[in-house]
Structures are given as C-alpha cells and as structure tokens.
Structure 1
Amino acid sequence: MSELVWGIKNGDLDQVKDIVEQKEIDVNKEIDGRPPLHYAADYGQGDVIQYLLSKGANVNAKDKHGISALLAAIWEGHTDCVKLLLEQVSQ
C-alpha cells in the first residue's frame, strides 16, 4: 500500500498534504486502479476529500471497476462525504 493511500485511509490530512505537495503528486493519478479521491470516499475521510477537490481532483473520475467516488461513498454509507461530492458534482 502506498504512503499516500495509507494517509488517506487513516484520515491523516497533514500526511496527505505533505505527500501531495512535497512530491508534487497528481491527485488524479490512479493508485492500483483507483484515484486518491475514491480511497477517501471509501473510508469516509471528508477532510481529505475537501483537500483533494481543492487540488483539482476529478469528482467524475471512475476507478478500474467503473465506480465513481460518489458511488463508493454511497455504498459505504458515508453521508457526509456523499454531500461533499454531490455539492462538487452540481457545480
């Protein structure tokens, strides 16, 4: 598991910021077939979702299974994340 995915899953926003900014990570680049936003949605990490969106994460991107971050958040029952993603989709 990558350092970035580990930080996302654990909701460690400071670690995520450090990795993205110091290593100049493309927030839309897939890690094991999934964009970082999908991992944040799966694990209900709203702060990380907001940060990734502020860095240009594509809310409409699909992962290797054809699933959007919004659908991942819905399936996992993370209603706060669903709201964040819906707000972004509607813009």
Structure 2
Amino acid sequence: MSETILVNQQPNEPIIVAKKPTVMEVEPGTYYWCSCGHSSNQPFCNGAHKGTGFKPIAFEITEKKRVALCQCKYTKQAPFCDGYHNNL
C-alpha cells in the first residue's frame, strides 16, 4: 500500500493517494476501485467513501493480466491509469 498524499484537498475532490499507478497482476473477477482516496485498502474500496458523495467503480477482469490502476484519482479512464498524474 502506498502512503497517502494530501494535496490541497477541496470539498468534493478525491484524495490523491500517490502520483503513480499501482501496477499489479489481477485474477479474473469483479473489483471495486476506490474513487475517493479514503480507503485503507488502495486502490480498492473498503467502504470509507460513506458520507463523501463518492462511489466505488466496479470493473471486471475476464482473464489474469497485469493492470495499472490509478491512485491520483483523476484518470479519465477509471479505474485504469491514463497518465494524468504527470500533470499534478
């Protein structure tokens, strides 16, 4: 798990967990990506978004593969990293 980086968080903006993606190999299944940055189980949701207005994003993996999951929470291809963290 990465160390959380709090960068001038504004109301209704996610917490930037890290300025790089989490790269991991995942098994087939349904996963829930944390969109708020509050989860202690990054990059996955643990329910810590309750009361924030954020919701986890469900995604399905159909075959074992390596993925890069966004941790800055500003990707336009959620849950996958699109390189937006390079702008932070």
TM-score (norm 1): 0.24
Bigger strand fraction: 2
Q: Rg larger in 1 or in 2?
A: 2
Structure showing greater relative contact order (alpha-carbon pairs closer than 8 Å, 6 or more residues apart)? 2
